[in-house]
């Protein structure tokens, strides 16, 4: 977009310069024609200058149209950027939601582990108590499921 803006600026400068030169030549020619009192007036030459003016104005309109296109592209670019930012936030929220759905409180397996300790203590005729900290910690369900058997084995 910056290159487009720079190109449009250059085009406008050149068209303005061309238009200024054409106007100056037309004015100069008209001054000369007035001095000669229309003795050698050539209508075709005036038509050429008029055509040059029309081309100059047409180029200026094209430059303005390109400027409008550039502005529209800039607006669309900003809108797309805003939409991408918004989509990124939504994706992050979804990802966090998915992570939360796969998480389980470690405390959910503590009754099972206490039962293992109680059973092992009864089998051996001893007293045992399981003390656990961090019951509220959340662990991935798959990880916790894979840890249960080794924990039970260690407690026995």
Domains of the chain, residue spans: 2-101, 103-155
From first to last of the 156 residues of the chain, give the pLDDT tens digit: 788 888 888 888 888 888 787 777 767 766 666 665 555 555 555 566 677 778 878 888 888 888 888 889 989 999 999 999 999 999 999 998 887 778 899 999 999 999 999 999 999 999 999 999 999 998 988 899 999 999 999 998
Helices (H) and strands (E) in the chain, counts: 4, 2
pLDDT computed for residue 127 by the predictor: 94
The per-residue pLDDT for 41 is 53
| Predicted structure pTM score | 0.46
pLDDT of 1: 77
Query: C-alpha distances in angstroms, 52 versus 3, 22, 38, 45, 131?
Result: 28, 7, 22, 11, 96
Q: Quick one: pLDDT at residue 42?
A: 56
Using only C-alpha atoms, the chain has a radius of gyration, in whole angstroms, of 42
pLDDT recorded at residue 14? 85
Which residue, chain included where needed, has tokens 């805003």?
82
Q: What is the pLDDT of residue 149?
A: 95
pLDDT of residue 152: 94
Question: Which pLDDT score is estimated for 30?
Answer: 64
DSSP 44-62: HHHHHHHHHHHHHHHHHHH
Task: Report the pLDDT value the prediction gives residue 150, as an integer from 0 to 100.
Answer: 95
The reported pLDDT for the residue numbered 79 is 95
pLDDT for the residue 96: 86
């Amino acid at each position: 977009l910056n290159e487009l803006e720079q190109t449009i600026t250059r085009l406008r400068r050149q068209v303005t310069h061309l238009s200024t030169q054409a106007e100056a030549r037309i004015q100069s020619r008209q001054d000369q024609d007035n001095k000669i009192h229309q003795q050698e007036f050539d209508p075709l030459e005036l038509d050429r200058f008029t055509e040059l003016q029309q081309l100059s104005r047409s180029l200026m309109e094209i430059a303005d149209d390109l400027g409008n296109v550039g502005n529209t592209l800039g607006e669309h670019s900003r809108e797309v950027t805003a939409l991408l930012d918004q989509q990124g936030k939504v994706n992050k929220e979804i990802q966090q939601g998915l992570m939360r759905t796969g998480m389980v409180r470690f405390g959910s397996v503590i009754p099972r582990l206490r039962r293992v300790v109680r059973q092992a203590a009864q089998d051996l005729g001893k007293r045992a108590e399981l003390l656990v900290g961090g019951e509220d910690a959340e662990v991935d369900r798959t990880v916790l499921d894979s840890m249960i058997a080794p924990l039970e084995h260690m407690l026995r």
